[in-house]
Copies of this chain bind each other. A is one copy, B any other.
Amino acid sequence: MNQVEVCFSPPLFDLFAKKDSIVVVVDIFRATSAMVTAFQHGARSFIPVSTIKEALDYKAKGYLAGGERNGEIVKGFEFGNSPFAYMDERIKDQDIVLTTTNGTRAINIAKKGADTVLIGSFLNLQALADHLQTQGKDVIIFCAGWKDRFNMEDSLFAGALTNLLLTSGKFYSDCDSANASSLVYRTGRKNLMTFLKTCSHRKRLAHLNLEKDVEYCLQRDVTDVIPVLKDGKLVRLTD
């Protein structure tokens, strides 16, 4: 039996980091949902960087650049954080550098503390669960949160994935964060949109007129693509 644990926020990640584990990074609104969408539409790789400056350096070398701060696209970048932006012919077989408020930072923290870093979202939830069940490794679901705080949408996803892993019979959990996430998901799953109405970040996105994005990011199992970090780049996992 392997364990599944949930880390609610980047400052807590050191408590969970362990060798030989798989970390699933999640930033539902919207970085990891956008990345999964981009791979589904043919992107070749993502380079996750923490600062706008690093992203601009790659852009100067000819990379496509995606950037978002506080929910809004960074000026001069081709893409922001919207999954719809990545449903685009231009990204086919391209390498894209990406920097976002929470998601890319979490990826860069995760890679210091795990063998394998995967990207999760509701869009590839079942594919991810199926894959993890065949690996025989402990799993840490790492919520990017919002500016280091716990957020509801990432923990909802953490709960959904925890549930799938626990019901597979191949995982257990002694982790209270995993148990709480699972409970939150079981309460909200019938209508995630309604459930999330009171949430801080969804309200933040509503101010920016991103309801369509929110709705898209809450869809389950749109694709089987699983992004994996290899040599500092996210690429499509091939079995």
Q: Which residues of A contact B (CB under 8 A)?
A: 8-9, 11-12, 15, 146-152, 155, 174-177, 179-180, 183-184, 187, 198-201, 203
Given the known inter-chain contacts A11-B12, A12-B149, A148-B15, please indicate yes or no for A199 contacting B176, CB distance below 8 A.
yes
CB distance from A162 to the nearest CB of B (A): 12
A-B contact pairs, 8 of them (CB 8 A): A8-B150, A12-B12, A12-B150, A150-B180, A175-B200, A176-B199, A176-B201, A183-B183
Q: Give 15 A-B pairs besides A152-B179, A176-B200 with Cβ atoms closer than 8 angstroms.
A: A8-B150, A11-B11, A11-B12, A12-B12, A12-B150, A149-B176, A150-B180, A152-B180, A174-B200, A175-B200, A176-B201, A179-B198, A180-B180, A180-B184, A183-B183
Q: Rank and list the top 4 A-B pairs by shortest CB-CB distance, nearest first.
A: A152-B176, A150-B177, A11-B11, A174-B200
Contacting residue for A179 out of B9, B12, B177, B199, CB 8 A: B199
Contacting residue for A180 out of B155, B174, B176, B179, CB 8 A: B155
Contacts of A8 in B (CB 8 A): 8, 150
Contacts of A176 in B (CB 8 A): 146, 149-152, 155, 199-201
Residue picked from A176, A179, A201, most chain B C-beta under 10 Å = A176
Alpha-carbon separation in the docked complex, A179 to B150 (Å): 11
Question: What residue in chain B is nearest A5 (Cβ atoms)?
Answer: B149
Alpha-carbon separation in the docked complex, A11 to B145 (Å): 14
Question: What residue in chain B is nearest A202 (Cβ atoms)?
Answer: B176
Alpha-carbon separation in the docked complex, A187 to B201 (Å): 23
Contacts of A15 in B (CB 8 A): 147-149
Contacts of A184 in B (CB 8 A): 180, 183-184
Alpha-carbon separation in the docked complex, A177 to B149 (Å): 8
Alpha-carbon separation in the docked complex, A56 to B175 (Å): 34
Contacts of A183 in B (CB 8 A): 183-184, 187
Alpha-carbon separation in the docked complex, A12 to B148 (Å): 8
Question: What residue in chain B is nearest A180 (Cβ atoms)?
Answer: B184
Alpha-carbon separation in the docked complex, A176 to B204 (Å): 12
Question: What residue in chain B is nearest A156 (Cβ atoms)?
Answer: B180
Question: What residue in chain B is nearest A154 (Cβ atoms)?
Answer: B176
Alpha-carbon separation in the docked complex, A200 to B15 (Å): 15
